[in-house]
Amino acid sequence: MVILEPSISDYHIQLKPEHQEIQALAREFARNEIAPIADSIDKEDQIPETIVRKMADLGFLGVPYPTEYGGVGSDYLSMALVIEELARISCAVSVIPVAHTLIAMPLFVYGSEEQKKKFLSPLAQGKKIGAHAMTEPAAGSDVAGIKTTARREDDGWVLNGTKTFCTNGDIADLFLVFARTSDIVDEEKKRHLGLSGFILERGMEGFTVGNPIGKMGIRGSKSVELVLEGVKVPHANLLGEEGKGFYMAMDCYDHGRIEVASQGIGVAQAALEAAAKYATQRIAFGKPIMEFQSPQFMLGEAASEIQAARLLTYQAASLRDQGKEFMPTACMAKMYATEVGERTALIAIKLSGSAGVATEYPMERYLRDIQVTKIYEGTNDIQRLTLGRLIYKEAQAAISNSR
Ligand SMILES: Cc1cc2nc3c(=O)[nH]c(=O)nc-3n(C[C@H](O)[C@H](O)[C@H](O)COP(=O)(O)OP(=O)(O)OC[C@H]3O[C@@H](n4cnc5c(N)ncnc54)[C@H](O)[C@@H]3O)c2cc1C
């Protein structure tokens, strides 16, 4: 996709009957199985194991992977639809497949045949749960600043370091852990070189999974600290090329951003519904507050923004499914959809008056949940930065071509 010279072919969203089927399946599951416990998941900060097992049985942990690796054999648009429906009822529950993607997708794209059979298959079938560990206490947005090291030995690698905010870490069997496999090069522009990804299994000697970090939103989904003290990892567990882990991680986040965008739409849709129902039932000055012009304006604008965010997200997924450049659209979708989610949650709170801030209603949960989606998989500042840099490059190229 070229931002300054858009092509009409980038706007082709391929919708098939399978998309409708999987959306209906996810919607029914979310309404029947998650909705009755969505509030208690948040209040008790716990997702029942049965929910994870049911998602696995329905194939929600393996939607875009081929059936030969145990997946559903569908595409990324289907994945986006599933996440949207889950997030509409519980953003926390939708985080489980989103974090799972951050190991399954790089295994699918960069794994050897042996690695796909050994690690991707159980992940895609939902027999094992996956997690992704890049972030460290002193390096989040600045991925190239990670300090965890992997030292090569004859029979494998030895990993040392600390990771933080590793989502699914409490239940994961497999972890994609990034470490520095060569010294930091002095030159600022080469800091990102020398990172590599490794598949670690729970229980490896020297690998400690810490306690969950308390959070304001997506409560129930757990993010933990990991401590690596001389963890021996076989050569066969190096994922992708040695030293190219940065690029693998960025590719992985491009995919993940589509799913976070879907979370944004799901939360926004839930907030719109809650606001519309409340404003329709609540009587003030002798009539439903929905009869007043300002609530109508607010909800009309919110619905338009949600539709725009949804189209952007489906477009990003479709571009990916057609094998086209989708990174810029995924950045736009992640940033825009999560911010639409935030604006809509604020409208839901505003239109609900005191009920909007009461914890017995879901409106305040939507606002807490959406805050988190603005941070992970690259903060929205980082999306703006990435898009701005792309536009700058395109403008430079356009100017030099016109000379
Ligand atoms: C609930 C949750 C789950 C997570 N799950 C995972 C996971 O499973 N695996 C994993 O590896 N990580 C995970 N993360 C970590 C997440 O990816 C990082 O928090 C995120 O990348 C931001 O890093 P940071 O928190 O260190 O913030 P920082 O990088 O310290 O940023 C702080 C602030 O500065 C801004 N900022 C930083 N650099 C720039 C810049 N160049 N220009 C403008 N503004 C800038 C940021 O936008 C932010 O507002 C998770 C985080 C959360 C909150």
Q: What is the CATH number of the domain that holds 204?
A: 2.40.110.10
The CA distance from 40 to 94, in Å, is: 15
User: Which residue's CA is the closest to the ligand 1 atom numbered 44?
Assistant: 381
pLDDT (0 to 100) of residue 68? 97
Structure tokens at 327: 């990174």
Looking at the fold, whether 383 and 258 belong to one and the same domain comes out as yes
Phi then psi for 133, rounded to 5 degrees?
Answer: -130, 95
Looking at the fold, whether 112 and 136 belong to one and the same domain comes out as no
The CA distance from 207 to 396, in Å, is: 47
Q: How far is the CA of 375 from the centre of ligand 1 (A)?
A: 6
213 in ligand 1 pocket by Cβ < 6 Å?
no
Looking at the fold, whether 228 and 359 belong to one and the same domain comes out as no
Q: Which of 134, 213, 212, 124 is nearest to 179 (CA)?
A: 134
Looking at the fold, whether 236 and 257 belong to one and the same domain comes out as no
SS3 state at 210: strand
- CB atoms near residue 72 (< 10 Å): 22
Looking at the fold, whether 264 and 390 belong to one and the same domain comes out as yes
Q: Each residue's pLDDT tens digit in the chain (403 positions)?
A: 789 999 999 999 989 999 999 999 999 999 999 999 999 999 999 999 999 999 999 999 999 999 999 999 999 999 999 999 999 999 999 999 999 999 999 999 999 999 999 999 999 999 999 999 999 999 999 999 999 999 999 999 999 999 999 999 999 999 999 999 987 665 666 888 899 999 999 999 999 999 999 999 999 999 999 999 999 999 999 999 999 999 999 999 999 999 999 999 999 999 999 999 999 999 999 999 999 999 999 999 999 999 999 999 999 999 999 999 999 999 999 999 999 999 999 999 999 999 999 999 999 999 999 999 999 999 999 999 999 999 999 999 999 999 8
99 in ligand 1 pocket by Cβ < 6 Å?
yes
The residues, any chain, with a CB within 8 Å of residue 307's CB and separated by 6 or more, are none
What's this model's pTM, rounded to 2 decimal places?
Answer: 0.97
Phi then psi for 88, rounded to 5 degrees?
Answer: -60, -30
Looking at the fold, whether 54 and 90 belong to one and the same domain comes out as yes
The CA distance from 143 to 387, in Å, is: 17
pLDDT (0 to 100) of residue 29? 98
* Assigned domain for 1 exists: no
* Assigned domain for 273 exists: yes
Q: What is the CATH number of the domain that holds 394?
A: 1.20.140.10
Looking at the fold, whether 168 and 303 belong to one and the same domain comes out as no
Q: What is the CATH number of the domain that holds 85?
A: 1.10.540.10
**Which 8-state DSSP code applies to residue 379?**
-
Q: Which of 3, 75, 28 is nearest to 325 (CA)?
A: 3
* Assigned domain for 3 exists: no
* Assigned domain for 65 exists: yes
Q: How far is the CA of 370 from the centre of ligand 1 (A)?
A: 15
The residues pairing with 161 across neighbouring beta strands, listed in sequence order, are 228
29 in ligand 1 pocket by Cβ < 6 Å?
no
Looking at the fold, whether 204 and 342 belong to one and the same domain comes out as no
The CA distance from 152 to 237, in Å, is: 12
Contact 170, 222 (CB under 8 A): yes
Residue-range definition of the domain harbouring residue 110: 8-129
Could you give the C-alpha distances from 348 to 119, 247, 341, in angstroms and in order? 43, 39, 10
Single out the residue in 96, 129, 162 at which a domain terminates: 129
Single out the residue in 243, 273, 302 at which a domain terminates: 243
316 in ligand 1 pocket by Cβ < 6 Å?
no
153 in ligand 1 pocket by Cβ < 6 Å?
no
* Assigned domain for 272 exists: yes
Q: Which atom of ligand 1 is nearest to the CA of 378?
A: 21
DSSP states of 164-181: EEEETTTT-SEEEEEEE-
* Number of domains within the chain: 3
pLDDT (0 to 100) of residue 14? 83
User: Which residue's CA is the closest to the ligand 1 atom numbered 13?
Assistant: 165
132 in ligand 1 pocket by Cβ < 6 Å?
yes
Single out the residue in 129, 159, 175 at which a domain terminates: 129
Q: Which residues are known to be catalytic?
A: 377
User: Which residue's CA is the closest to the ligand 1 atom numbered 48?
Assistant: 379
pLDDT digits (tens, 9 = 90+) for 60-118: 999 999 999 999 999 999 999 999 999 999 999 999 999 999 999 999 999 999 999 99
Looking at the fold, whether 251 and 348 belong to one and the same domain comes out as yes
Looking at the fold, whether 220 and 99 belong to one and the same domain comes out as no
Looking at the fold, whether 164 and 206 belong to one and the same domain comes out as yes
Of 93, 141, 200, the residue with max ligand 1 atoms within 8 A of its CB, to mutate for a pocket test, comes to 141
The CA distance from 93 to 90, in Å, is: 5
Contact 213, 224 (CB under 8 A): yes
* Assigned domain for 149 exists: yes
Q: Which of 78, 43, 45, 87 is nearest to 59 (CA)?
A: 78
Looking at the fold, whether 305 and 391 belong to one and the same domain comes out as yes
User: Which residue's CA is the closest to the ligand 1 atom numbered 1?
Assistant: 372
Residue type, 260: V
User: Which residue's CA is the closest to the ligand 1 atom numbered 26?
Assistant: 140
* Assigned domain for 2 exists: no
Structure tokens at 318: 């479709």
Q: How far is the CA of 143 from the centre of ligand 1 (A)?
A: 9
The CA distance from 272 to 350, in Å, is: 12
pLDDT digits (tens, 9 = 90+) for 239-284: 999 999 999 999 999 999 999 999 999 999 999 999 999 999 999 9
